[in-house]
Amino acid sequence: MGSKITAIEYCFPEKELTNDDLSIEFPDYDFSKVEKKIGVKVRYIAGQNETALDLAIRASLKLLEKIDKSEIDFILYCTQSPEYKLPTTACILQDKLGLKTNIGALDFNLGCSGFTYGVSMAKALINSKQASNVLLITAETYSKYLNVLDRSNRSIFGDAATATLISYSDEEMIGNCLFGTDGSGYDKLIIKNGGSKNEFSFNPERISYGSGNCYTDNELYMNGPDVFNFTIDKIPPFSEELLKVNNCEKETIDQYIFHQANAFMLNSLRKKMCVDTDKFYIDLNEGGNTVSSTIPIALKKYSLLNLDDNEQNIMIVGFGVGLSWSGGVIKIKNKL
């Protein structure tokens, strides 16, 4: 008994935010630097009345063109942009998609490590015979959490949703996964207000940080240097652990597809890990950092260009808010 990633679909909102658009808002900054260093040319931004669930529905409907929806028997919904504080957004998605009612459905709150967590959970559900076809959703609208004057984060983050079908397979195509957590860094990427700890403020203090950026405690704050240092410190040795637990040699990995945080960070990881450029996927040009959706989007794009019944070993690793990281080694034979 095993499991495999069968198909992936994704969608962006219609509204584009280009570097030229940002240059109009911030005329004193050269956004060509963003494209060169961070790797982002355009990101997509949810409309005022458009939610992560709306994007999730669109991505799911694209996926359901490939499978009889009656075969879906579990929904895993990864988001930090829930429709409501309660109920669970996955329950709403079940109804919106017209799926059967004798299925499981749950949300889990994770950011950039969310997809790899979800793949591992889906594998466990299938291998324990609790499900045969798991619909894994990632959906975020971080743009709604950003201060209009937060130039740095607005240049990095975009909104998106993905739908991934993980199914029963005679051959195990999803290898062993590992996880890491360091909650002492919880405040490195955080929205302080609006939860149980701190109420949403109707008159929040504007806080300056970095080089001319602003935010309030109602909005997202990211300590970029600390997140970068955490990533460079944790992820290279973590990747070595993944090789060992999956009985792989470095040379047997055909492609490394990591969370697409930004090109500078990814290139720094690649160099520290001594991986050739053609084996280390970097593509943020269209969409930017879409949080939990970056890895499935990258997997989809990579498979369309590089796979045609030629099995490949791919290491997937997510890392970020939490602080949290996770990953595994998967096999893919076909275009997703």
Q: Annotated active-site positions, please?
A: 112, 259, 289
- Contact assessment for residue 284 and residue 38, using Cβ atoms and an 8 Å cutoff: yes
For residue 328, give the nearest of 208, 219, 217, 239 by alpha carbon. 239
How does DSSP classify residue 240?
H
d(CA 101, CA 95): 8
Beta-carbon contacts of residue 144 (< 8 Å; ≥ 6 apart):
46, 81
How does DSSP assign 146-171, residue by residue?
A: S-TT-HHHHHHB--EEEEEEEEEESS
Tell me if 295 sits within 8 A of 325, measured CB to CB. no
How far apart, in whole angstroms, are the C-alpha atoms of residue 150 and residue 211?
10
Separation between Cα atoms, residue 285 and residue 277, nearest integer Å: 17
Q: What is the dihedral of CA 299, 304, 305, 309, to 10 degrees?
A: 100
Q: Strands 104-108 and 133-140: what pairing?
A: unpaired
Estimate to the nearest angstrom the gap between the alpha carbon of 27 and the chain centroid: 31
165 vs 160, 202, 280, CA distance in Å? 17, 41, 24
Q: Is the dihedral of CA 263, 267, 269, 275 positive or negative?
A: positive
Rounded CA separation 24/102 (Å): 51
